[in-house]
């Protein structure tokens, strides 16, 4: 079975797949020939929340070709569950998010994920469990076109510790939320985070 790839662009999703998936939301098919990711992403508006698809007989090959025009940044983060069964969310840049950050020299992705969660929320991770998924999103930084790959891991903490948001990282709030009360988060978060919550079984 061919692997599908999702690239998140602002609030939009670009799927690269062999066949058209069964989706509840509307999806617009794009022409694969001469498709340029950077040109396409520049045309997309913020908050449009649209879904696009490139149909390809070789999704991995197509994804790797698109990737060549980007500067790759690696990051990792965590979906953290407390002993009470609540989940850790942060509020940063006016959006609900999950703690994550960039890979530092000498680290692997698993180490980055734990360090970033601990630094951004002031907690001690008890256990880092399996990788839930990876997400890709693109953005422009100066004159560079960035593709950020983020590995997401399930994690647990002892009890339900008090959270200390890392203000210097722009985090205004860090909270524990019951998975039954995620409506405010879902109304104001990124498609990539919804993808992680799905992978973690919260939705």
Q: What is the pLDDT of residue 50?
A: 92
Beta partners for residue 135, in sequence order: 150
Q: Would you state the pLDDT for residue 202?
A: 96
- What pLDDT shows up at residue 178? 96
pLDDT at 78: 98
Query: How far is 134 from 151, CA to CA, in rounded Å?
Result: 4
Q: Which domains does the chain have, with CATH numbers?
A: 5-67 (no CATH), 71-199 (3.90.79.10)
Angle (nearest 5°) at CA 47 between 46 and 50: 100
182 closest CA partner among 99, 50, 85, 89: 89
pLDDT the model gives residue 49 = 86
Return the pLDDT at 3.
82
- In total, the chain counts a number of residues equal to 203
Determine the pLDDT at residue 22: 79
Task: Give me the pLDDT at residue 2, please.
Answer: 61
**What's the token pair of residue 145?**
């076109």
Phi (first) and psi of residue 80, to 5 degrees = -105, 130
> What are the CA-CA distances from residue 88 to residues 159, 163, 173, 199 (Å)?
13, 9, 11, 15
Q: Residue 128 corresponds to which tokens in the numbers above? A: 């880092």
Residue 29 — left, alpha, or beta (φ > 0 → left; ψ -120 to 50 → alpha)? beta
User: Quick one: pLDDT at residue 194?
Assistant: 96
* Six-digit token string for 122: 């002031």
Contacts 24+ apart (CB under 8 A), 130-134: 130/154, 132/79, 132/196, 132/199, 132/200, 133/195, 133/196, 133/199
In the three-class reduction of DSSP (H, G, I as helix; E, B as strand; rest coil), residue 145 is classed as: strand
End-to-end CA distance of the chain: give it in Å, rounded. 25
pLDDT in tens, the chain (203 residues): 568 999 999 899 999 999 988 776 789 999 999 999 999 999 887 778 899 999 999 999 999 999 998 999 999 999 999 999 999 999 999 999 999 999 999 999 999 999 999 999 999 999 999 999 999 999 999 999 999 999 999 999 999 999 999 999 999 999 999 999 999 999 999 999 999 999 999 99
């Amino acid at each position: 079975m061919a692997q599908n790839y999702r690239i998140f662009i602002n609030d939009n999703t670009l799927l690269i797949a062999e066949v058209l998936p069964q989706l509840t939301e509307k999806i617009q098919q794009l022409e694969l020939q001469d498709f340029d990711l950077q040109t396409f992403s520049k045309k997309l508006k913020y908050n449009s929340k649209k879904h696009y698809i490139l149909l390809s007989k070789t999704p991995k090959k197509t994804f790797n070709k698109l990737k060549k025009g980007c500067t790759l940044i690696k990051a990792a983060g965590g979906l953290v569950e407390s002993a009470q069964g609540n989940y850790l969310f942060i509020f940063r840049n006016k959006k609900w998010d999950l703690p994550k950050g960039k890979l530092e020299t000498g680290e692997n992705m698993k180490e980055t994920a734990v360090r970033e969660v601990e630094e951004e929320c002031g907690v001690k991770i008890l256990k880092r469990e399996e990788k839930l998924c990876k997400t890709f999103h693109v953005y422009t930084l100066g004159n560079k076109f960035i593709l950020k790959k983020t590995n997401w891991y399930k994690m647990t903490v002892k009890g339900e510790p008090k959270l200390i948001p890392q203000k210097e990282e722009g985090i205004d709030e860090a909270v524990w939320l019951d998975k039954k009360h995620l409506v405010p988060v879902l109304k104001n978060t990124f498609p990539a985070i919804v993808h992680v919550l799905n992978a973690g079984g919260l939705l």
